[in-house]
Structure 1
Amino acid sequence: MHQKRSVAALTGGALSAVVLGGLLAAAPQAVAADVTCSTNVYKRTFYKNTAFSGSPVRTDCDSAISESWSGSPVAGVPSNNFGVRWSVTRDFGSGGPFTFTASATDGVRVYLDGVRKIDLWKSTGDTARSKGVNLTVPSGKHTLRVDHVNWTGAAKVKFTYTPRTSATYDRTKPLAPTGVKTAYNTKTRKTTVSWSANKEMDLASYSLYRRPVGSSTWTKVTTTTTTARSHTDPLVNPDDRTPYYYEVRAKDKAGNTSSGSADTIVRPLPVVTSLTGTYDKATGKVALKWPLNTEPHFDHYTVLSNDMVNGSYKWVPLGTTKGNTWTTGPVTADGETRHYRVLVTNDGGTTTYNRSGLDPLATNELWLDIPDGIAPAYAPDLSLRSCASGIQATATDYTPAPIRDFTGFEIERREAGTDTWSVALHKTYDPRPTTATATVCDPLPADGRTYEYRARTYDTDGNYSPYSETRALTVPGGVG
């Protein structure tokens, strides 16, 4: 009796036979090592039976299902009565109409999420036959599985799944692109926009749009291929400091266009979001303050005041700072509104646009009312005459209405020879007449005394003009 030699073969790392007591016996099939395949690549498993039972002989990755085996497909698998299974889970994006096409000898079955879509399960010898089905794949991730068995003869199998790109069938919009990122180059003053690839299988192109902040009108910047997912936008005006929104839209081969991606804002410059200020009456100075910018491309601020220069108002630089406060020199307390503006310059030398006029809505501009410390320049005229109960005093000012710098009159009275004045009248005037005037009939006893009067004007900040000339009138004495 001859001793039989042991026969062993490594298949996928498994020992297929061993010698037991001088007899050749099949070894238990080792579990194939798990395999992780790239995105959208099939995992393929080989079985040495047509029931897909037990552990697979081999597991690997397959980018496409298109095989023709005339014998054993891999070591350890017989030429007949074997099975091969492919499976892949992929993101179909928005989904839509697809065509599944399978061609095979003997048996082939195609499943979508475990539901059988193609069933050709019959011995055919070496002759392949095919079948195609049209179906709608829902949006999102789904699992495809293809089972093929070969009972005898040649083993041929092929499977494809392709989107139907005719507008007649495909009315499903692609999903909006995601992963939009922007980068602004402070030196070239250009913005680069990039985005992630869509999950759709039938994309034709991407389009990039922009619109200025505050506008609702989008302008198409460019259209790119499905593989070109970034674009550098050179604005028409390289000095443009306008902040822009960007969005990306996807278009499929049927002409359907997605909604826009989430709008992404690009600010060429840091923004002064608010500007406040106070006036110190003691020093006459204005103290300005704003939030400190922390953007990495921030460099410095320029503080300006809107002042009269050669007969017209211009924005005059007061200085630059990297801080967020500024104190001006003394400002005349003239009751006027002062205007201040803070500009930002980035590390590329670009500065906030400095428009020539005033902008009441600009966040980097302050309109500050300065208290009025200047008294009305001229004293009013004063006239006296008798009235029914005493003395009538009338204050008059002939300054034209557009340039009057007072809001009312005050008339004071004292008895001649005394030092104490009292207020007989303090009131505003009727602005409608050409001449501003105020009158009071000052009730006094008929005691024959002489009274002195004086008048002045005042403004809204409590500043008083010089006094008029003092005038006197004697009240007639009573009947004895």
Structure 2
Amino acid sequence: MHQKSLLAARTGGALSAVVFGSLLVATPHAAAADVACSTNVYKRTFYKNTSFSGSPAKTDCDGVISQSWSGSPASGVPSNNFSVRWSVMRDFGSGGPFRFAASATDGVRVYLDGVRKIDLWKGTGDTARSKSVNLTVPAGKHTLRVDYVNWTGAAKVKYTYAPRTSATYDKTKPLAPIGVKTSYNTTSRKTTVSWSANREMDLASYSLYRRPVGSGTWTRVTTTTSRSHTDPAVNPDDRTPFYYEVRARDKAGNSSSGSRDTIVRPLPIVSSLTGSYDRATGKVSLKWPLNTETHFDHYTVLSNDEVDGSYAWVPLGTTKGNTWTTDPITPDGEFRHYRVLVTNDGGTTTYNPHWLDATASNELWLGIPDGTAPAHAPDLALSTCTNGVGATVTDNTPAPIRDFTGFEIERREVGTDTWSVALHGPFDPRRTPATASVCDPLPADGRSYEYRARSYDAAGNYSPSSAVHGVTRPAR
């Protein structure tokens, strides 16, 4: 049997502990040597005393607590009156119901996050006894610690912890899998999905699901105990993108929520296409985000042009960059349509329908400014009006084919170069011919004036000017 009372002593400046009967009073002790152990592996420290005090005689790593020492457990440690401490921090995943079990000769104590859960602290000689407890471990990381003391006789100690996997007790859903990655093989047209190991200790299997983008219905692809799966080709023409997610299931039958959805686009697409027209050069500049898929090969830029009396998508060229500048284009006030396709290293190209698609992200409808002026000059007639000159502009173009929206009449004094606007505005579209008039107030001072007229369209383009007409105001 162990000594009933042991006076505390100071060793190397570190205060040891005092044993009163079967009660060990914990006191400060030296820290264990800094040994790094693998994930979920215990750090084990040996002490030459039963109070866990002073510098450890040895520190190492131990994967399982299941020991039976018939003599000294380590070099420099006595066969009797020694102590061993195991500690580890591990991730319990979603947590839930667990069973802690310990058996030992002499003293063993088990702690969870510093709280004692098992206490068998009594000298037993060579006879071991055991105890188990059921408890709920919260989700996340927690510290386990096992303290063992051998006073005399055989030194045996064992400790295990395991989840309770009966559906009667375990109602906790596993954590959703993380680290989901996808890759698409352009040759086999198959998608491989992989994911990180779940942190649950009672994991039974994983299930892989997929659904088409735009659909809310998931289809289970497989249930597996591995952490990757290659999905067979489900869309031979490669047009439909799919979402994939992974769910975990534990031994009690609880299923996790789905992992973060991961999209797989068999064909890389241009997610947006923008462009602008340069009036100075007459060229259109296109731009789009550069694709980052490993199987990207090149882009093809197309324009929707008239070919043999009908419109078709005509390739302008290919590039590996994400910009394109067209040849000069006539500013005609019409819409131009552009599309950018992506080809992967398997030779498959983005879906390319013959028609226009206003909702396609890789298609641009660009309005080109109107640079074509009205073709003909209007007619101009002068008359007199109260205190001035009457000017009337007329155009006989039929209403359905008029290419102008208003008239402008200008006037200047003979012998000068500067024209002034006497009239600028629309006409009554219901009248034929189109006409507009103005009474231009001028003093009766004997001066001579010249007038001219022109039409303009909605883009601000002006027609040629009419013939110049002159008039002289009477002198008074």
Scaled by the length of structure 1, what TM-score is found?
Answer: 0.69
Determine the structure 2 residue equivalent to 1:440: 437
Is residue 66–residue 157 contact of structure 1 (8 Å, CA) maintained in 2? yes
Aligned to 1:110, what secondary structure does the other structure show? strand
Aligned to 1:179, what secondary structure does the other structure show? coil
How far 1:100 sits from its partner (Å)? 1.3
- 358-367 or 307-316: which moved more? 358-367
Determine the structure 1 residue equivalent to 2:424: 426
Determine the structure 2 residue equivalent to 1:313: 311
Is residue 40–residue 88 contact of structure 2 (8 Å, CA) maintained in 1? yes
Change (3 A) 1:35 1:242: same
Residue 437 of structure 1 aligns with an amino acid whose one-letter code is A
Determine the structure 2 residue equivalent to 1:197: 197
- 1:393 aligns to 2:395 (yes or no): no
How far 1:229 sits from its partner (Å)? 1.0
CA–CA distance in 2 between the matches of 1:324 and 1:286? 14
Change (3 A) 1:261 1:141: farther
How far 1:101 sits from its partner (Å)? 2.4
Is residue 277–residue 366 contact of structure 1 (8 Å, CA) maintained in 2? no
- 43-52 or 134-143: which moved more? 43-52
How far 1:275 sits from its partner (Å)? 3.8
Residue 144 of structure 2 aligns with an amino acid whose one-letter code is T
Deviations 1:263-300 (A, max 9, x none): 55555527465543433555x44444556667654322
Is residue 68–residue 156 contact of structure 1 (8 Å, CA) maintained in 2? yes
Aligned to 2:404, what secondary structure does the other structure show? coil
CA–CA distance in 2 between the matches of 1:430 and 1:256? 77
Find the partner of 2:302 among 301, 304, 311.
304
Is residue 272–residue 342 contact of structure 1 (8 Å, CA) maintained in 2? no
Residue 408 of structure 1 aligns with an amino acid whose one-letter code is G
Deviations 1:111-151 (A, max 9, x none): 32443211234466776554321222232142241536485
How far 1:408 sits from its partner (Å)? 0.9
Change (3 A) 1:163 1:464: same
Change (3 A) 1:475 1:162: same
Change (3 A) 1:66 1:457: same
How far 1:201 sits from its partner (Å)? 0.9
Q: How many residues are aligned here?
A: 439
Deviations 1:362-405 (A, max 9, x none): 6644443333232324565777777656546252555345x542
CA–CA distance in 1 between the matches of 2:433 and 2:233? 59
CA–CA distance in 2 between the matches of 1:404 and 1:66? 99
Change (3 A) 1:131 1:379: same
How far 1:90 sits from its partner (Å)? 2.5
CA–CA distance in 1 between the matches of 2:54 and 2:178? 43
Aligned to 2:436, what secondary structure does the other structure show? strand
Residue 237 of structure 2 aligns with an amino acid whose one-letter code is D
Determine the structure 2 residue equivalent to 1:145: 146
Is residue 448–residue 474 contact of structure 1 (8 Å, CA) maintained in 2? no
- 1:232 aligns to 2:230 (yes or no): yes
Deviations 1:71-113 (A, max 9, x none): 6697999998887665544322232321212345554432324
CA–CA distance in 1 between the matches of 2:290 and 2:367? 24
- 1:115 aligns to 2:115 (yes or no): yes
CA–CA distance in 1 between the matches of 2:73 and 2:372? 103
CA–CA distance in 2 between the matches of 1:238 and 1:396? 62
Determine the structure 1 residue equivalent to 2:337: 339
Is residue 290–residue 321 contact of structure 2 (8 Å, CA) maintained in 1? yes
Unaligned segments of structure 2, at least 5 residues: 1-32
Determine the structure 2 residue equivalent to 1:206: 206
Deviations 1:12-58 (A, max 9, x none): xxxxxxxxxxxxxxxxxxxxx99876543456678898767899898
Q: 1:31-430 maps to which residues of 2 (within 5 A)?
A: 39-42=39-42, 63-65=63-65, 86-104=86-104, 107-122=107-122, 129-138=129-138, 139-145=140-146, 147=148, 149=150, 151=152, 158-166=158-166, 169-209=169-209, 217=216, 219=218, 222-225=221-224, 227-234=225-232, 236-240=234-238, 246-258=244-256, 260-261=258-259, 264=262, 266=264, 268-269=267-268, 271=270, 274-279=273-278, 281=280, 284-289=282-287, 297-358=295-356, 364-377=362-375, 391=390, 393=392, 395-397=394-396, 399-401=398-400, 403-411=401-409, 424-430=422-428
Residue 277 of structure 2 aligns with an amino acid whose one-letter code is T
- 113-122 or 247-256: which moved more? 247-256
Residue 115 of structure 1 aligns with an amino acid whose one-letter code is V
CA–CA distance in 2 between the matches of 1:67 and 1:421? 110
Identity %: 70
Residue 307 of structure 2 aligns with an amino acid whose one-letter code is V
Is residue 277–residue 289 contact of structure 1 (8 Å, CA) maintained in 2? no
Change (3 A) 1:464 1:305: same
Aligned to 1:318, what secondary structure does the other structure show? strand
How far 1:302 sits from its partner (Å)? 1.1
Is residue 275–residue 363 contact of structure 1 (8 Å, CA) maintained in 2? no
Q: What is the RMSD computed on CA atoms of the aligned residues?
A: 5.1
CA–CA distance in 2 between the matches of 1:112 and 1:358? 66
CA–CA distance in 1 between the matches of 2:47 and 2:385? 127
How far 1:323 sits from its partner (Å)? 4.3
CA–CA distance in 1 between the matches of 2:459 and 2:36? 82
Is residue 108–residue 146 contact of structure 2 (8 Å, CA) maintained in 1? no
How far 1:161 sits from its partner (Å)? 1.5
CA–CA distance in 2 between the matches of 1:83 and 1:452? 118
CA–CA distance in 1 between the matches of 2:396 and 2:202? 85
How far 1:343 sits from its partner (Å)? 2.2
Determine the structure 2 residue equivalent to 1:23: none
